[in-house]
């Protein structure tokens, strides 16, 4: 029988009459060079090396069944320890609601005769138009079934009945896990993880529920910070101005969420500091805008103590409406207000272990220096330039030509331009004619609107910044689909096309124009103009059951149908990859269906944006192999054809590919790739299929330290493999992924 190593520590706490034995299972622990784990005096002490030869310390213990952080401390090389907090209680709250399918998906399933119980269960978890905390439900009728009732929404705070712990080493990290966590309908463990070479400490509730249809949000942090005369909380507001709170106000009954820039708050401990922030991308679920709702909080619990942590507020928010006429203003008010009712939360299918995480960054430096260190993990919330690549993103419904019509000029700077430029985006493809303008107009009115759209895009473009006036067309093929053309082209797609209109004509004002009126017209148009098309938001929203329903159609099998779009929707915190099932599942399925691999183009699919938004965590983008950004008046074919060839990778931004390829062929194939990264890595995977069965090889990367580069050389047998792809994920849930390719047999 395997012998489990256990140590028993009896400890007495000052001022208490009871003692508690701390039982820790060390079976999964092996010493990690540089990380010291000691047990004694009733606690587990972790001391580990951080950045710039700094040292960090966390002392963990149990008190009356309650896990505690007895101390957090940091020091510079050879310096004295700076205590950042003592006797801190891990704090969690959860709000749960009931997941429902939207009427959009339900109608598509019914109309396509696919409304089986299995499909209804599957698509319920892919829902976008859901707001489980909105009572009674959405004003736009997106809710299946009767309106919600107040008793569906439940709120709970954490309780503990811990009596054991486990210490686990995994590569260059050590975790301490306490049992006995209860969080409303969830039950499980609380886990603390430290990383060699990093100042990070990750705290997470790892818990599951057996209830059905659960959607949830959480708060996670620490309570018990002492209020001293010099205690100060620091953060930057959405205008990037430093703000401070010194806990001189009244006691708070609820957490006060801060609209902090970059989702970071910092406890200023005088000679040191402690930053609190959520995982950069995995903490967020898809919405229609990026309005900063306030993702970090403080709570003054009494005159002597306060709490800090991360949170998702219970309500969304729409963008600020705008418009010259009452009619336009009121329509945009309606759109903005409806976005409040699109707040889908996280999925928690029964029995899945949800990871509700918060990060702490321990530092012996000032709050300003600490913020700089934290922002390095996300390149200051921007997409770092990579030689030989240009950054591409799109699918944004910004009503640009309506803005121009309102103002009567394109000579202005829309609020979304500095957002993209600040993110480091080189190429943006827009999506007007969605909820704006006259989408179904068959001629002159639409062409005039397109003319303004083209002129505005030209004026917004600059050296190394291109605005492409593209469109989510959505006509004739089924579901929603996107069109990218290598130049501005006038076309209409009215349903039905007027009987007196032909496929193409010469318009006296706009020259050569197209009028799409059928699937065949779409195919001819895309081929003639050398464009590309793809499924927008596959298997969710209005593309539920797509691309599945046209997988055998000629237009899908064509190499001008490149695949589908990637968006982190839905979010299930039990999954190791963002959009694990829907996005990567449809990538693999499409590549199995078609004669050549299909791709996933990372997109935003959001509406109006302003510089105060928190756009970065809700976005993933593409790095396209491209030497230069075409000028607006040049051909955009290098962009279109580069995407069509799959010469790009998708990323949340923290992991970046520099090169990749396959050496050799058949049984002697080697997949090669070089990356740079910020957070310590978690794993990489090589995924392949023979056209029917998908399989993968997992490469464990837990022995990597933060901020590094890595070259992969992965031998594999390409014999019988139709396609192969590669992706890499870090310990915070961020990732980068390459497109599938056909290996040489």
Q: Which fold has domain 390-490+526-643?
A: TIM Barrel (3.20.20)
Closest CA to 81 of 406, 468, 474, 364: 364
Average pLDDT for 687-700: 98
Listed by start position, the domains of the chain span: 6-95+155-314+327-377, 390-490+526-643, 654-745
Residue whose C-alpha is closest to residue 177's, from 280, 51, 60: 60
Q: Which residues of 617-649 are buried (b: 16+ CB within 10 A; e: fewer)?
A: bbbbbbbbbbeebbebeeebebbbebbbebbbb
What is the per-residue pLDDT for 15?
35
Number of H helices, E strands in the chain: 11, 42
What number is the average pLDDT over the span 498-520?
Answer: 97
How many beta carbons lie within 10 A of that of residue 713, not counting itself? 10
Q: How confident is the model at residue 17 (pLDDT cuts 50, 70, 90)?
A: very low
Contacts of residue 33, defined as CB under 8 A and 6 or more positions apart, other chains included, come to 196
Quick one: angle between helices 400-407 and 444-460, nearest 10?
Answer: 90
| Whole-number pLDDT of residue 102 | 85
Q: In which band, very low, low, confident or very high, does the pLDDT at 515 lie, cut at 50, 70 and 90?
A: very high
Q: Are 37 and 175 in contact (CB under 8 A)?
A: no
Alpha-carbon distances of 586 from 287, 611, 649, 735, rounded to whole Å: 21, 33, 17, 18
213-250 residue pLDDT tens: 999 999 999 999 999 999 999 999 999 999 999 999 99
| Residue 9: pLDDT over 60 | no
Tokens 């975790």, located at residue? 175
Which tens digit of pLDDT belongs to each residue from 314-359?
Answer: 999 988 888 888 888 888 888 888 888 789 999 999 999 999 999 9
**Three-class HEC string of 630-694:** CCCCCCCHHHHHHHHCCCEEEECCCEEEEEEEEECCHHHEEEEEEEEECCCEEEEEEEEECCCCE
CATH class of 654-745: mainly beta
E-only strand ranges, 524-632:
532-535, 561-566, 599-602, 621-625
64, pLDDT greater than 90: yes
* Residue 100 confidence (pLDDT) above 50: yes
Strand, helix or coil for residue 139: coil
- Could you tell me which of 506, 477, 476 has the C-alpha nearest to residue 490? 506
pLDDT at 255 over 80: yes
Task: Report which DSSP code applies to 423.
Answer: H
Predicted local confidence at residue 738, as pLDDT: 98
Distance CA 440, CA 431 (A): 15
Banded model confidence at residue 139, pLDDT cuts 50, 70, 90: low
Q: Write down the architecture of domain 6-95+155-314+327-377 according to CATH.
A: Distorted Sandwich (2.70)
Tokens found for residue 87: 């006797």
* Average pLDDT score over residue span 668-685: 98
Residues of the chain with pLDDT > 90, as a percent, come to 87
User: pLDDT category, 19, cuts 50, 70, 90?
Assistant: very low
349-614-257-320 Cα dihedral, nearest 10 degrees: -100
> 723-730 and 735-738 as β-strands: parallel, antiparallel, unpaired?
antiparallel
Above 50 in pLDDT, residue 496?
Answer: yes
CA distance 503 to 602: 32
What single-letter DSSP state applies at residue 201? E
Q: Residue 637 — left, alpha, or beta (φ > 0 → left; ψ -120 to 50 → alpha)?
A: alpha
Closest CA to 420 of 468, 452, 453: 468
Task: Report pLDDT digits (tens) over 550-568.
Answer: 999 999 999 999 999 999 9
pLDDT-wise least confident of 102-116, 367-381, 383-397, 437-451: 102-116
Give the pLDDT band (50/70/90) at residue 137. Answer: confident
Q: Residue 209: its pLDDT value, please? A: 98
Better pLDDT: 389 or 270: 389
Task: Identify the H or E element spanning 444.
Answer: helix 444-460
């Amino acid at each position: 029988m395997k012998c489990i190593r256990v140590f028993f520590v009896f400890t007495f706490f000052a001022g208490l009459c009871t003692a508690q034995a701390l039982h820790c299972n060390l079976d999964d622990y092996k010493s990690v060079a540089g990380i010291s784990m000691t047990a004694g005096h009733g606690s587990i002490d972790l001391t580990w090396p951080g950045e710039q030869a700094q040292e960090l310390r966390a002392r963990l213990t149990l008190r009356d069944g309650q896990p505690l952080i007895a101390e957090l401390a940091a020091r510079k090389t050879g310096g004295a320890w700076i205590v950042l907090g003592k006797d801190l209680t891990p704090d969690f709250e959860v709000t749960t609601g009931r997941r429902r399918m939207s009427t959009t998906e339900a109608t598509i399933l019914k109309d396509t005769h696919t409304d089986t119980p299995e499909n209804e269960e599957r698509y319920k978890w892919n829902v976008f138009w859901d707001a489980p905390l909105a009572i009674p439900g959405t004003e736009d009728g997106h809710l299946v079934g009767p309106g919600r009732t107040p008793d569906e929404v439940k709120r709970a705070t954490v309780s503990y009945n811990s009596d054991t712990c486990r210490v686990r080493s995994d590569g260059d990290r050590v975790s301490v896990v306490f049992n006995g966590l209860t969080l409303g309908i969830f039950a499980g463990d609380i886990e603390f993880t430290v990383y060699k070479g990093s100042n990070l400490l990750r705290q997470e509730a790892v818990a599951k529920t057996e209830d059905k249809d659960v959607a949830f949000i959480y708060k996670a942090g620490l309570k018990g910070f002492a209020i001293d005369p010099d205690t100060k909380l620091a953060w930057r507001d959405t205008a990037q101005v430093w703000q401070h709170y010194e806990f001189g106000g009244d006691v708070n009954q609820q957490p006060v969420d801060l609209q902090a820039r970059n989702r970071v708050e910092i406890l200023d401990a005088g000679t040191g500091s402690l930053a609190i922030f959520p995982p950069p991308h995995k903490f967020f679920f898809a919405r229609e805008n990026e309005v900063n709702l306030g993702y970090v909080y403080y709570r003054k619990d009494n005159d002597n103590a306060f709490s800090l942590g991360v949170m998702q507020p219970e309500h969304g928010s729409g963008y600020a409406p705008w418009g010259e006429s009452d009619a336009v203003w009121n329509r945009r008010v309606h759109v903005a207000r409806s976005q409040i009712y699109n707040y889908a939360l996280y999925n928690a299918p029964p029995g899945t272990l949800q990871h509700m995480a918060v990060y702490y960054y321990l530092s012996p430096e000032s709050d300003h220096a600490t913020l700089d260190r934290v922002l390095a993990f996300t390149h200051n919330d921007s997409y770092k330039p990579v030689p030989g690549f240009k950054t591409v993103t799109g699918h944004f419904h910004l009503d640009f030509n309506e803005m121009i019509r309102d103002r009567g000029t394109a000579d202005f700077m829309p609020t979304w331009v500095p957002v993209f430029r600040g993110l480091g985006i080189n190429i943006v493809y827009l999506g007007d004619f969605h909820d704006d303008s006259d989408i179904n107009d068959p001629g002159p009115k639409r062409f005039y609107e397109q003319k303004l759209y083209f002129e505005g895009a030209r004026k917004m473009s600059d050296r190394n910044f291109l605005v492409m006036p593209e469109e989510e067309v959505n006509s004739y093929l089924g579901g929603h689909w996107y069109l990218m053309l290598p130049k501005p082209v006038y076309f209409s797609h009215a349903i039905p096309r007027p009987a007196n209109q032909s496929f193409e004509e010469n318009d006296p004002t706009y020259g050569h124009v197209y009028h799409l009126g059928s699937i065949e017209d779409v195919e001819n148009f895309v081929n003639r103009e050398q464009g590309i098309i793809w499924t927008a938001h596959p298997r969710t929203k209005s593309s539920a059951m797509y691309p599945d329903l046209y997988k055998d159609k000629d237009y899908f099998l064509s190499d001008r149908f490149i695949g589908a779009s990637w968006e982190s929707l839905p979010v299930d915190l039990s999954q190791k990859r963002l959009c694990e099932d829907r996005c990567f599942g449809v990538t693999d399925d499409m590549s199995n269906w078609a004669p050549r691999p299909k791709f996933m183009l990372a997109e935003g699919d959001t509406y109006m944006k302003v510089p105060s938004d928190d756009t970065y965590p809700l976005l993933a983008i593409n790095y396209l192999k491209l030497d230069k950004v075409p000028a607006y008046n040049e051909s955009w074919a290098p962009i279109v054809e580069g995407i069509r060839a799959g010469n790009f990778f998708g990323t949340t931004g923290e992991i970046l590919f520099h090169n990749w390829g396959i050496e050799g062929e058949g049984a002697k194939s080697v997949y090669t790739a070089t990356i740079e990264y910020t957070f310590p890595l978690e794993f990489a995977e090589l995924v392949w299929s023979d056209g029917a069965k998908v399989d993968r090889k997992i490469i464990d990367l837990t022995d990597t330290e933060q901020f590094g580069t890595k070259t992969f050389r992965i031998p594999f047998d390409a014999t019988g493999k139709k396609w192969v792809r590669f992706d890499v994920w870090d310990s915070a849930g961020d990732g980068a992924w390459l497109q599938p390719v056909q290996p040489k047999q």
